[in-house]
Amino acid sequence: MILEAFAEPGSEEAVLLESIDAVRLPRHIAVIMDGNGRWAGMRKLPRVAGHRAGTESVDDIVESCRRLGVEILTLYAFSIENWKRPKLEVRTLMRLLKEFIRKETRNVNENNIRFQAIGRIHELDESVREELRRITELTERNTGMTLNIALNYGGRAELVDAVKLILSKHGNGGSTEITEETISDSLYTSGLPDPDLLIRTSGEMRISNFLLWQIAYSEIYVTPVLWPDFRRKHLLEAITAYQHRDRRYGGI
């Protein structure tokens, strides 16, 4: 854990940091980044201002997770359902995504972070796919934290795509036994452990079609903090709450 330099002695962050057991950190943290629109609305700003402010939270949480030693961070950036939003907002989101990738490419690579995009990436605009290809190829040999960005993602769509992949490999009339491992290996997150901790900002009590298979035994932490206001302190609060829970996986 190398977060100490981020916390001033005696600060709330420093106190939280002291309470965290580095041995029991969640390996994989997933985040539903919610509340950008409400954050902007409360300030009488256009919704896109909330999305832009939200990128600052992404920077802070990625850096904090890396310094803490979290192995995998998965961020829910754009869902399949988000295409229903006004066209101007969608275009702006895609532009912000490309700006973020270009800005973060050097930082991610220098910090040994491996970047991945999960979802129906093939349906995104070619300009977005090109930026994703570039950063993915540049960081594919990095051995530090894995950063997953869920784009054009839906949990049900992922399961549909997993079934299609299984059928394409084994054929409709195949006799291959279908197990949990077969399905897990066919998901977008194949090869990664399931999330230990799922964080949702903005206080909404739902999972919004996110990682439906993978979060079967994840600990869920909901905070009323809107995503643009979510910072290192709030992440440490979530991890502290996680470490006070007893994970029994259906046992006693």
Catalytic residues, by residue number, are: 34, 82
Contact (CB, 8 A) for 94 and 128: yes
Contact (CB, 8 A) for 35 and 226: yes
Contact (CB, 8 A) for 150 and 76: yes
Distances (CA, A) of 226 to 78, 127, 147, 212, 214: 16, 30, 21, 23, 24
Question: 230: which strand partners?
Answer: none
Closest CA to 177 of 188, 166, 187, 186: 166
Q: How far from the centroid of its chain's Cα atoms is residue 42's Cα?
A: 25
